[in-house]
Structure 1
């Protein structure tokens, strides 16, 4: 006889209040369930990968996606996810207990960042199936869910009064810079020169729009205000970047001045006046802002899951990223990472030009 699974109606219990373990009863039930190990102690970007993938795989297998609240980290995962994208959690059966020993465990998605074909799970007829793997960091798990996931985002309470809005007058490039926990971790952390050159490259290429179908369109943006919003986990470092001078073209320079304010910094290039803003929002609000305002996204740390989602859920869906194949990052050498599985094919990788190892160019896939 199947196991009784108890639905939790809400999950706003304070983290310092332990949950009572529920007893398992035997009752008839013909529904099929799918659950998974989760990297519950990780951050929001990892949660989005795991829950989006689990929902999509469950649909493919005609199973109900199931979430076991095993400890306070799982509680926090639910609260963080619900704060951003409650519509995603609406599809899950949420169980206030640890995983029963009687549930069948299967090895699947054992490598964080490579795609594992869900078709092979169709051979399992067990009513309760639990995946041993975690992370699910591949767009291939949910290839047609981008617009659906955007619809599941909550309506922002934050009006983002300190940041510009994307409209007919404003074209907004969003840049994500991750540093704090990546420094010394084996993940690539770009230096100032790389970040500034990447920003320059994306700004120049901002008139090239890559559609979701892979077609390229040229769109003249000179009649719009070209604005840039910077996101990151090291605000003093970002502010220091905007106090740099670097070459834009031969003989031309962008000079950043911090004498205006720390939130609004200007540069003048040819006849285009552009303006910089630094976001001080929390991760959830940053993604909500991106979904309505980021026409283009650049994330400079290639294995940043938050930068990935900032781009994936962005308004424009046009994303640039540092080509991980040409930087010092241990992801590929570990055998746990496949760039074709991790990055959607229409996203644009950039790297140093091999001739001068300074100028950034689009990397050929």
Structure 2
């Protein structure tokens, strides 16, 4: 009798949440990607996203911001392709249901592909896969089951190696909506007018990072990095006319920065109406990118979704205490090797092509074994 009551309780709770989900995700039982007439020239209109009838899901510690959401889904997409499973998210989490409203207006393909699910306990398998937020694990080390839902213990999955081989599909997954494109294009036209100079975009993240273990944007890195990057572009890319475009920066902080503004054609501070518009603006209009707070997944995705011809430069130090921070230790899992790492050493910023373990002689730690 107790077992029956528990089962009925599960059913009632499930029905309630499913009603909320169905209200949000109506008419998405079949999945086809529309061909958009004004699609970006680096988005392949022939790419189709894989969709299966079984699911792969994370275990939530927190819903987190849009950049973290993108990492979670992109990685589950890559892992799921190996097991013929479609990414799904936890339909019982109010924060996730709320996020899907923003996802719908920003990334329609993401919204259409990824469903909110309530795994039935009798048809669910669990795995310890992905416990380390920032470490790549080969999906082949994990066994699949016949269960409809495979729930991984990991939450963040913040390494591009889970999905990089499917980059064309990831670009399609995160293709921006027509509304986001139109708003950002209108904003850029009004901001830049007839300025045809090279746009070096500098992504800035301070705010919540100031009291977080993530290293925020600081002037001691930012200012010499700006000089190094723009001098490098002039010397190696035959770029003579450069404008700086700051993304994510507050006006007073920009005004406080002490640098020679006359060295640049113009200085812009981009500030659009939504996070999706901010991201698309960076993806579309940056000719080169400097990530001054490398722990920002938002900035990371701007760089990753930009045209492959856009050079990317980033702060090699990710956390405030890099000796204790996993994203620093696993930097080779975080940043594509073609991105150019910058290091601040004794007040000077310079290029550095060594990973953390190479530079500091730290051995790679083995991963814990998997089990169900």
Alignment of 1:1-365 (within 5 A): 8=21, 11=24, 31-38=53-60, 40-95=62-117, 98-102=118-122, 103-151=124-172, 152-155=175-178, 156-158=181-183, 159-160=186-187, 161-164=189-192, 169-207=196-234, 218-222=236-240, 225-232=241-248, 234-241=250-257, 244-245=258-259, 254=260, 256=261, 267=262, 269=263, 273-281=264-272, 282-315=274-307, 316-324=309-317, 329-330=320-321, 333-335=324-326, 337-352=329-344, 354=345, 357-365=346-354
What are the ranges of 5 or more consecutive residues in structure 2 without an aligned counterpart?
Answer: 1-10, 27-51, 355-372
SS of the residue 1:50 aligns to = helix
**CA separation of 1:44 and 1:328: change in aligned 2, threshold 3 A:** closer
- Aligned 8 A contact 2:319 2:325 in 1: no
What are the ranges of 5 or more consecutive residues in structure 1 without an aligned counterpart?
Answer: 14-29, 209-217, 246-253, 257-266
In structure 2, distance between residues paired with 1:147 and 1:112: 24
SS of the residue 1:144 aligns to = helix
Q: What per-residue deviation string (whole Å, max 9, x for no partner) do you get for residues 286-308 of structure 1?
A: 11112211111111112111111
In structure 2, distance between residues paired with 1:57 and 1:163: 41
**CA separation of 1:42 and 1:93: change in aligned 2, threshold 3 A:** closer
The count of aligned residue pairs is: 303
For residue 162 of structure 1, report the CA deviation from its aligned partner.
4.2
**CA separation of 1:340 and 1:162: change in aligned 2, threshold 3 A:** same
More strand by share: 1
For residue 330 of structure 1, report the CA deviation from its aligned partner.
3.5
- Aligned 8 A contact 2:57 2:76 in 1: yes
In structure 2, distance between residues paired with 1:118 and 1:165: 48
**CA separation of 1:363 and 1:91: change in aligned 2, threshold 3 A:** same
More helix by share: 2
TM-score (norm 1): 0.74
Q: What per-residue deviation string (whole Å, max 9, x for no partner) do you get for residues 208-242 of structure 1?
A: 7xxxxxxxxx53122xx42211012533212322x
Bigger shift: residues 104-113 or 122-131: 122-131
- Aligned 8 A contact 1:177 1:232 in 2: yes
TM-score (norm 2): 0.73
In structure 2, distance between residues paired with 1:291 and 1:60: 29
In structure 2, distance between residues paired with 1:157 and 1:47: 23
In structure 1, distance between residues paired with 2:136 and 2:217: 27
Q: State the superposition RMSD in angstroms.
A: 2.9
For residue 130 of structure 1, report the CA deviation from its aligned partner.
0.8
In structure 2, distance between residues paired with 1:328 and 1:143: 24
- Aligned 8 A contact 1:180 1:233 in 2: no
